[in-house]
Amino acid sequence: MNIIQSGEILGARVEGLDLSQPLSPAEFVEIEQALGRFGVLSYPKQVLTSLQLKQFAERFGQLEINVANAYQEPGLPEVMILSNKVGPDGKPLGLSDAGQDWHTDMSYSKMVAFTNILYGLEIPHRHGEPLGNTEFVSMHAAYDDLPEAMKQRLEGKTITHDFAKFWDMMRAKPGSTRGPLTPAQRAAKPPVSHPAVMVHPITGKKVLYANPGYSMRINELPEDESAEVLAFLFTHQLQAKFQYKHRWQVGDVLMWDNLGTLHNAVPDYRPDEPRYIKRCQVMATRYFDVAAA
Ligand code: OGA
Ligand code: MN
């Protein structure tokens, strides 16, 4: 295995590893460390069954099963389809608008997401350039670059995250087919709180754990002050100097660290430009205790 750094703020390419085969303990440790350090890892030219994708993913922690969602591989509910394609019956083959604004996965959940693992089977291109890039920002860098007074101000603070914030924002976009959350869906995902600053379980360094997709409120501050600080943090953390983009190629497996990065799926392709991706969401069960959370 050869890990080649992008030379940018995030990102490395892992070559010489066939993900259809089990990782050795040494390979696992090397990858886990690299994921903490580089935030986003890509493995080009993989040929995987859905079961092999699931088996690779579950080495990193418990997999999430998205109960509310229909776009699951038959018999493998941990593998979900992200796609803008429709079947012969006109029904969508996958979730078509996943992640289309800045967020980090499952910050709205008591047990947050650790790494999301995507396998690109169809990637739109135009004039030879890939479309539907996935963009990232580094929360190690964003934390380090905060003014000292802001670091002090965030110390010991917690933030409320709410699933409904991203849902309602996506719903308000033109052409959205999302309906309002049902009372049952709403009840299944009540708001949760997490520390505003976390010590990253792999790097041991502090990261900013806030994101415009789900973060609602800094609990210990008055409402107006919370709104002001969150607005500052959202602008701060999305600065171009913290950004990295993955340009997809067919066969890429892409995994990112949800504790140390935010991401955004760029919807710059048309319905007649198919994108088809399989995904496994890995929760942070290796690092956090769900009972304690
Ligand atoms: C996700 C997501 C990004 C993409 O699956 O959580 O944000 O590029 N996907 O599909
Ligand atoms: Mn996402």
Distance in Å, CA 213 to ligand 1 centroid: 13
Q: Does 105 contact ligand 1 (Cβ within 6 A)?
A: yes
Q: Does 82 contact ligand 1 (Cβ within 6 A)?
A: yes
Query: Which atom of ligand 1 approaches the CA of 95 most closely?
Result: 5
Q: Report residue 68's pLDDT band, with 50, 70 and 90 as the boundaries.
A: low
Q: Which own/partner contact pairs does 147-154 have at CB distance under 8 Å and 24+ positions apart?
A: 150/229, 150/232, 151/197, 153/229, 154/196, 154/197, 154/208, 154/229
Residue 39 has pLDDT above 70, yes or no: yes
Q: Does 267 contact ligand 1 (Cβ within 6 A)?
A: no
Q: Average of pLDDT values for 6-34?
A: 98
Distance in Å, CA 222 to ligand 1 centroid: 33
pLDDT tens column, 87-125: 999 999 999 999 999 999 999 999 999 999 999 999 999
Residue 217 has pLDDT above 60, yes or no: yes
Q: Which ligand is nearest to the CA of 98?
A: 1
**Helix runs in 47-179, H state only:** 50-57, 139-144, 148-154, 163-171
Question: How many CB atoms lie under 10 A from the CB of residue 93?
Answer: 15
Q: Does 99 contact ligand 1 (Cβ within 6 A)?
A: yes
Q: Does 265 contact ligand 1 (Cβ within 6 A)?
A: yes
pLDDT tens column, 156-176: 999 999 999 999 999 999 988
Residue 272 has pLDDT above 60, yes or no: yes
Question: How many CB atoms lie under 10 A from the CB of residue 75?
Answer: 8
For the whole model, what pTM was predicted? 0.97
Distance in Å, CA 121 to ligand 1 centroid: 14
Q: Report residue 62's pLDDT band, with 50, 70 and 90 as the boundaries.
A: very high
Q: Does 98 contact ligand 1 (Cβ within 6 A)?
A: yes
Distance in Å, CA 149 to ligand 2 centroid: 31
Short-list 158, 157, 174, 186, CA closest to 68:
186
Q: Average of pLDDT values for 228-255?
A: 98
Mean pLDDT of the chain: 96
Query: Which atom of ligand 1 approaches the CA of 82 most closely?
Result: 10
Distance in Å, CA 71 to ligand 1 centroid: 14
3-state helix, strand, coil in the chain (%, to 5): 25, 30, 45
Distance in Å, CA 221 to ligand 1 centroid: 32
State phi, psi for 124 to the nearest 5 degrees: -70, 145
**Torsion angle of the four alpha carbons 98, 104, 110, 114, in this order, in degrees rounded to the nearest 10:** 100
Query: Which atom of ligand 1 approaches the CA of 103 most closely?
Result: 7
